[in-house]
Amino acid sequence: MTQAMAATSAHRARILHTSDWQLGMKRHFLSGEAQSRFDESRLTAIEALLELAEERQCDAVVVAGDVFDDNLLKPEIYGRAMDVLKGSTVPVFLLPGNHDPLDAASVYHRKEFDKLANVFVLKDSEPVAVPKSGGGRAEGAAALEIVGAPLRGKTADEDLVAAALSGLDPVQGAGIRVLVGHGGVSSFGEIDDFDRIDVDNAARACHERKVDYVALGDTHSTMPLDADATQARVWYSGAQEVTDFVEQDGRGESNSGNVLVVEIAVDPARPEKQAQVQVEEVPVGRWAFKALNATVNSTADIDEFLERLGGIESKRTTVVKYALVGTLSVHDAAYLDEQLEKIAPTFAALYERERLMDVHVIPDEDELSEGLLSQGFIGEAVQELKSLAESDSQDPQQMQQAQQAQDALRLLVRLAHHAEKGN
């Protein structure tokens, strides 16, 4: 997003801001095989961001909440996460979020965390000094402090970021301080919720040098939050790997799979002056979640939709949900089903948005009076299904029967085609 950062020097600090790892997250539309690859990719993205932090000579990595999807974790999820974390050469600061709050059952109470020399859990809002020997930290770099605003339950009854800020005095000298929080923000509406983070208050604290940067988590898309677009100091980092769909109009999880490399600089001659901040978005995720819509009224329309699906890259790490509207003949509907069945296994998941699907199948006398479809018991079944499928009743039960009859006709056409090819 901005030019590459210069090497860390005196009165400067560089952090890597990430959040919402949600290790252990399940997606209902993924098969067991695809879910396993999704789990692995989330860990791979963490390994990538830790390597990035070392390459960029970051002084610290801050994880702004929801490291885990739940405090109750499968042993393999917890064990692999700990194995990845212990390999970090840069100090890592973990903030409990609403998915993994610091309650009585918190994962952060486990003794293994005490054995991770380079990992620190932000259990309160006391400033924590970043070890000077950590990572690629340069000799003489500015003193860096991390302040947390941890959640102690799934919800809070106050703005935890504001509460953490209220107990802070301005930074002394040319030191640098970063606050790490998690939750929804007032700029997104619902301002009556007591736990909403007041972005204006956080930005004002940066101006007053109570902190120099506010690293937030909760929303999975990367975005600046305060009004100063050129020098934004309050950010959502977004999740390190994509977790949900982006709609065709851009709504939804539209900018995830990133981390932020943040450089903060203080003028040693005027340490009371607001710090300069540069933020760079760096993609580390590999997955994509796409929502597609299409109108299908002919074989040509179907082929155009199939071409769109075929043109998607990295299908094995892409999930597609689709909504089709239109009117098709029974043969065209069967052709669509057959082609989707062929391409579906190449994707991590490919499925209908049932609520938005609106494809009407209109039986045609000619296409149902040929071959096996016109013979014997099959022919009788076809005519009975055709009669049900053509119902224009508005009665919910009869509408459901009509849809079932259309589906059955599509299946019969496909089976008849396969049988005739076999002959």
Half-sphere exposure of 375 (CA within 13 A, CB side): 6
The pLDDT assigned to 367 comes to 57
Bridge partners for 350 per DSSP: 320
The C-alpha atoms of residue 238 and residue 341 are separated, in whole angstroms, by 34
* pLDDT lower than 50: segments of the chain: 1-10, 135-137, 139-140
The answer to whether the beta carbons of residues 125 and 99 sit under 8 Å apart is no
pLDDT tens digits, 308-319: 999 999 999 999
The pLDDT assigned to 82 comes to 96
Domain ranges in the chain are 12-283, 289-422
pLDDT tens digits, 204-221: 999 999 999 999 999 999
The residues, any chain, with a CB within 8 Å of residue 342's CB and separated by 6 or more, are none
Hunting for tokens 């799979």 — which residue is that?
A: 257
The answer to whether the beta carbons of residues 181 and 160 sit under 8 Å apart is yes
Q: What is the 3-state secondary structure (H, E, C) of the chain?
A: CCCCCCCCCCCEEEEEEEECCCECCCCCCCCHHHHHHHHHHHHHHHHHHHHHHHHCCCCEEEECCCCECCCCCCHHHHHHHHHHHCCCCCCEEECCCCCCCCCCCCHHHCHHHHHCCCEEECCCCCCEECCCCCCCCCCCCCCEEEEECCCCCCCCCCCHHHHHHHCCCCCCCCCEEEEEEECCEHHHCCCCCCCCECHHHHHHHHHCCCCCEEEEECCCCCEECCCCCCCCCEEECCECCCCCCECCCCCECCCCCEEEEEEEECCCCCCCCCCEEEEEEEECCCCEEEEEEEECCCHHHHHHHHHHHHCCCCHHHEEEEEEEEEEEEHHHHHHHHHHHHHHHHHCCEEEECCCCCEEEEECCCCCCCCHHHHCHHHHHHHHHHHHHHCCCCCCHHHHHHHHHHHHHHHHHHHHHHHHHHHC
The whole-model pTM stands at 0.83
CATH 3.40.50.10490 fits 12-283, yes or no: no
pLDDT tens digits, 2-39: 433 443 444 899 999 999 999 999 999 999 999 999 99
